Amino acid sequence: MIQLKSLTRIFDDKPVLDAINLEIPEGSFTSLLGPSGCGKSTLLRILAGLDQPSAGTLLFDGEDVREKSATLRNIAMVFQSYALYPHMTVRANIGLPLAMRSMSRLERLPLVTALLPSARRKRAANGREVERIAAMLGLTELLERKPSELSGGQKQRVAVGRALVRDPKAFLFDEPLSNLDTKLRGQMREEISLLHKQTGKTFIYVTHDQTEAMSLSDQVAVMMEGHILQVAPPRILYSRPANTKVAAFVGEHPINLLTVKPVGTALQSPFGAFVLSEAWDGDIILGLRPENIALVENGPLQGRVTRVDYLGGHTLLDVELSEGICLRVADEEGPLVPAVGNVVQLSIAPQKIHLFKAESGERLPLEVRQRGEAV
Amino acid sequence: MIAARYLSRAVSLGLLLLGAAIILLPFFWMISLSLKPADEIFQDSIQLLPSHFEWNNYVVAFTKMPLWRFLINGIIVCCGILILQILIAVPCAYALTQRDFRGKAIVMGMVLAGLLVPYHVTAIPLFLGLSQLRLLDSYAALILPFIASVFGIFLFRQFFATIPKDLIDAARVDGLSEMSIVWRIAFPLAWPAATAFAVFSVVAHWNDLFWPLIAVSSPELATPPRGILFFRDVEAGSSFGPLMAATAIVTAPLVLVFLMAQRAFIQGLTMTGLKG
């Protein structure tokens, strides 16, 4: 278990990480998701021991590791740029962490390695381990090549192999797939997922790509501007976002947000008239995901299409409601093929509406019903 | 059109040839003199080629003076300087690029300022210092003043600045100490820069006459250029044939080394953005 307690990192008087609290259970797959510059990479570097927190505690299995170097923490890291040593073969790249750990300074000297029996033995054992890992990752044929002779996916595998060979306590991934093309990305995603199941180790994965975070993780920590906004399993993150920022960030298409003022339990909005399960005094932000709005032949809402983006599986529409309010709609390809200028009818599912407090943006724990439905 | 292009090529080629001829002429003259018999050297008329090859000049060069000794001294001094320079400059350059410490900018500024100081300026203080340490007239006197090379620090710094930070971080995570990173990761990557630096350093110190003249007086410590001066005999007059033969021998290793390292040398210069 890795615990972060009010962890803070300040660069030039600006907090890049502001009192981060996070628990990463043993063997879990945890993603740090956020836009670039939100501090997620800094957090990863602190976990790796490459950077020091300005304040707060970092516990590995209850032990404070702030003073420990990356090696002593036994953490492996896969970098976005792969960071393979260009002058070494694949074999040497994967074998270096092993050599650094198992052999003494003396045994590592070039000539001594050939002469000392203990060094020879260790080198042979390391060599076997490297070959085992290489076979596992399908790199056996490439062992004698230099990184410059490898494709992106192969480099990525070597980087993973170099992490794997040390049998670390946890794996850290820093946007490992962002340099790959879409197809390879999907494939590598599967491989990383498989690797997590095979090793059963803690994986901590930094990404700005929510598809990666959602599809791989047991829990996702959404970060923005140095804060963790929500830590939750992917499903909860999508279905019960803790605030408007998470709601806006998670989801394939940006969520529709609209501020309205309820009167008691009655809620009159451009999306229709609703009833709250409890009265609420103050402005409310309604959140409605584009994919929860459907084009229907006969719906309660009507609007004019102002933009159409055809995306293959579905179509993204901007529909201007009569009140001059624009609604984003993600329509599964249905019988209706809308065009710009068409007037369309929409229906929404009230139970899919998210409610947030207007002043803080936090989730409002209330239910919504369509007006007129039975209580 | 085509004629004009040929003409412009012919003109530029001609200019290049002329430039090459001007640069090569002294070398040619040196070799020519080293092969001429003594009476021919002092003829009034200029003759490019010797009437017959006088190989004896080379024999005299090796027998009259301990030329081998001078050459070995040159190798000891140049290698000593180069190895120590690299041992010092590479970790310094690494610290200046990949580490953060207080006063980094000031240290870098001092390195740049150091580049502007000609080493002749420091000759007298160095001489006095070495004399206080009773190190004058020794190999140490020839080597020690040059081991901290600001040029080397600068050149390696330029190169190390291009190494991605991720690579250094990966090495740290993989369990390499900072010194291991310097010698196992950064230095092998900087191989072209190291070659370029080695050529600069060896050429400068092999050819240096100024400092050996000041620092040593014993003939058995003389570096090649200092040794050649011994051919200028005050009483018997100068024996130019053997002198030129010795000069040719002394120049040869440098030319050979440069020809062998040429590609890496040029690569090292272009990759550090230090062109020209």
What's the whole-number mean pLDDT along residues A167-185? 88
What Å distances lie between residue B108 and A61, B82, B115, B271, CA to CA? 43, 22, 11, 20
The neighbour count for residue B20, using CB atoms within 10 Å, is 10
Q: How many residues does chain A have?
A: 375
To the nearest whole Å, the CA of B194 is away from the closest chain A CA by 15
To the nearest whole Å, the CA of A35 is away from the closest chain B CA by 20
Predicted local distance difference test score (pLDDT) of residue B11: 94
**Cβ partners under 8 Å of residue A205, min gap 6:** A29, A30, A31, A32, A172, A173, A176, A192, A212, A213, A216, A217
The alpha carbon dihedral of A128, A134, A137, A138 has a sign of: negative
CA B143/CA A83 separation, integer angstroms? 39
At B214-263, the pLDDT tens digits run: 999 888 899 999 988 888 765 556 678 888 888 898 888 888 888 887 77
Output the DSSP codes for A246-261: HHHHSSSSPPEEEEE-
Could you tell me if A369 and A266 are in contact, meaning their C-beta atoms sit under 8 angstroms apart? no
The three-state secondary structure class of A172 is strand
Residue of chain A minimizing CA distance to B167: A83
The neighbour count for residue A294, using CB atoms within 10 Å, is 17
At residue A294, what are phi and psi to the nearest 5 degrees?
Answer: -120, 145
In this structure, the strands spanning A29-33 and A55-60 are: unpaired
At A295-327, the pLDDT tens digits run: 888 878 888 888 888 887 788 888 888 767 788
Whether B169 sits inside 8 A of A83 (CB atoms) is yes
Whether B167 sits inside 8 A of A83 (CB atoms) is yes
In this structure, the strands spanning A301-310 and A314-321 are: antiparallel
CA A305/CA A13 separation, integer angstroms? 48
Asked if the interface predicted TM-score (ipTM) of this complex is over 0.85, the answer is no
To the nearest whole Å, the CA of A186 is away from the closest chain B CA by 24
To the nearest whole Å, the CA of B41 is away from the closest chain A CA by 54
DSSP state, residue A150: S
Predicted local distance difference test score (pLDDT) of residue B270: 66
Q: Which chain A residues are closer than 8 Å to B166 by Cβ? A: 79-81, 83
In single-letter form, the type of residue at position B6 comes to Y
The three-state secondary structure class of A359 is coil
At B149-205, the pLDDT tens digits run: 999 999 999 999 989 989 999 999 988 889 999 999 999 998 888 988 998 899 899
To the nearest whole Å, the CA of A286 is away from the closest chain B CA by 43
Q: Does A101 touch chain B (CB under 8 A)?
A: yes
Can you list the pairs that B225-233 forms with residues at least 24 positions away whose Cβ atoms lie under 8 Å? B225/B250, B226/B70, B227/B65, B227/B66, B227/B67, B227/B69, B227/B70, B227/B73, B228/B70, B230/B65, B231/B61, B231/B64, B231/B65
Q: Give the residue from B200, B95, B107, B195 showing the smallest Cα distance to B146.
A: B200
At A222-259, the pLDDT tens digits run: 999 999 999 999 999 999 999 999 999 998 888 998 88
The three-state secondary structure class of A336 is coil
The domains of chain B are located at 1-54, 64-272
Residue located via tokens 């059963």: A200
Whether B173 sits inside 8 A of A80 (CB atoms) is no
Q: Is the pLDDT of residue A219 over 90?
A: yes
Under 8 Å CB pairs connecting chains A and B tally to 55
Out of B166, B175, B189, closest to residue A97 by CB: B175
Select from A96, A164, A204 the residue whose CB has the most chain B CBs within 10 Å, as the one to mutate to test that interface. Answer: A96
Q: Which domains does chain A possess? A: 2-239 (3.40.50.300), 252-370 (2.40.50.140)
Q: How many CA atoms lie less than 13 Å away from A370 in the CB half-sphere?
A: 12
Select from A85, A156, A160 the residue whose CB has the most chain B CBs within 10 Å, as the one to mutate to test that interface. Answer: A85
At residue A180, what are phi and psi to the nearest 5 degrees?
Answer: -105, 160
Instruction: Domain B64-272: state its class.
Output: mainly alpha
